[in-house]
Amino acid sequence: MLLKLYDKNNNPQDLQRIIDILNDGGLIIYPTDTMYAIGCHGLKERAIERICRIKEIDPRKNNLSIICYDLSSISEYAKVDNNVFKLMKHNLPGPFTFILNGTNRLPKIFRNRKEVGIRMPDNHIIREIARLLDAPIMTTTLPHEENEDLEYITDPELIDEKFGDIVDLVIDGGIGGIEPSTVVKCTENEPEIVRQGKGWLEEN
């Protein structure tokens, strides 16, 4: 099912429908400030396992990422020291994934790796959903074959055509991007860019 949403003034009933889907363990596809992504309630392990199967990722070997609404909610799910907090405050919301050590507020599936990717996209639609859900959203980019038309990960109608049967809802937030987030590892002493993507990190 495809649902058109906008940066602001969305119908509260539409937003509530999305929250209900997530609270029931459902999967949604939504826009971010980089690429379209697939996600679920970040504290519901079965829903997270479904996404791992769709993406063919092993949570014991791959870091999982969550979207948080704001900086204070990040500190519930990840260990943030002063320097990292300042760095995130300077760059978020934005097209970054910060790899941090997770806290025990996260489900067991995250604790296999002890680390969690933190996203706070500069996208009003998904941040509003995270705010209303009052919980993190587990997030990962859509699966894409190398030789496949890029429109299947950028055009909401084609995304719905391809993935509509395996998720509960596709949010149409306009045409998406093709560049991933910049990944910044913050588990050691100095932040390290492990993947340069759309975001250019500004140091304090």
Report residue 34 as tokens. 């980089």
**Strand order through the sheet with 2-4:** 2-4, 169-172, 28-30, 37-41, 137-141, 64-67, 115-120, 94-101, 182-185, 192-195
Confidence of residue 145 (pLDDT cuts 50, 70, 90): confident
Residue 114 reports pLDDT greater than 70: yes
The dihedral formed by the CA atoms of 185, 58, 167 and 5, expressed in degrees to the nearest 10? 0
Cis peptide leading into residue 93 (ω within 30°): yes
What's the CA gap between 152 and 150, in Å, rounded? 5
> 156 burial class (0-12, 13-18, 19+ CB within 10 angstroms)?
buried
Task: Give residue 57's pLDDT.
Answer: 92
Average pLDDT in the chain: 95
What's the CA gap between 141 and 204, in Å, rounded? 29
Q: Which CATH superfamily is domain 1-193 in?
A: DHBP synthase (3.90.870.10)
Confidence of residue 113 (pLDDT cuts 50, 70, 90): confident
35-78 per-position pLDDT tens digit: 999 999 999 999 999 999 999 999 888 889 999 999 999 999 99
Query: What is the percent of the chain where pLDDT is above 90?
Result: 90
Residue 204 reports pLDDT greater than 70: no
